[in-house]
Amino acid sequence: QVSQQVHSSTAIREILKDGRVADAVNVLGRNYTLDGVVVHGDGRGRKLGFPTANLSTEKELLPCDGVYVVKVKWRDRYFDGVINIGHRPTFSGEKTTLEIHLLDFQGDLYAERLRIYFVDRLRGERKFASVDALQEAVLMDIERARGKLADAQVVEYREYLDCGDNFRANGAK
């Protein structure tokens, strides 16, 4: 059921600034999304045992730094994933990066276009005392993400519009 409340763009920005991407579904009537192209990173995720697709996006409105549960659409197929948005403080990163780890995926995504559907936020980004501590946290993030993704469904913008048409057809305004 899609909420029929009208929300301002300011309210949506506040929700994303707070990382409440699960609430964005109720406000937007669909999952908050990012589109982007996979670019080469420094290979650190792969070295840690969690290969990542580094996303370059033109989107100016990003959820706050943190780790999020996502669904990823690539070539009309959906994959479960976890995305880190932030500065990689464990490695003294300076610029904002978007690193997606697709669960149970093997393949080359370089130069491919992906659409990211945000499902929920797991935690804020933080600096870990060691690489081992980071790896342990990522394993826990993946386990928690699997639980949240088991029942997660993506709401596309088109589905939202179709739902709105159904509401109007039934006399709702």
Report whether pLDDT(169) > 80: no
Report the pLDDT averaged over residues 95-122. Answer: 95
Q: What is the pTM of this model?
A: 0.85
Report whether pLDDT(45) > 90: no
**Which has the minimum average pLDDT: 44-48, 97-101, 106-110?**
44-48
Amino acid at 40: H
Question: How sure is the predictor about 47, in pLDDT bands with cuts at 50, 70 and 90?
Answer: confident
Structural domain spans, the chain: 32-153
> In terms of Cα–Cα distance, which of 56, 39, 48, 159 is closest to 110?
39
Report the pLDDT averaged over residues 31-51. Answer: 90
Apex CA 104: angle with CA 36 and CA 33, to 5°?
25
- Say yes or no: domain 32-153 is CATH 2.40.30.30: yes
Instruction: Please check whether residue 70 is in contact with residue 19, taking contact to mean a CB–CB distance below 8 angstroms.
Output: no
Buried/exposed 111-128: b ≥16 CB within 10 Å, e otherwise: eeebbbbbbbbbeebeee
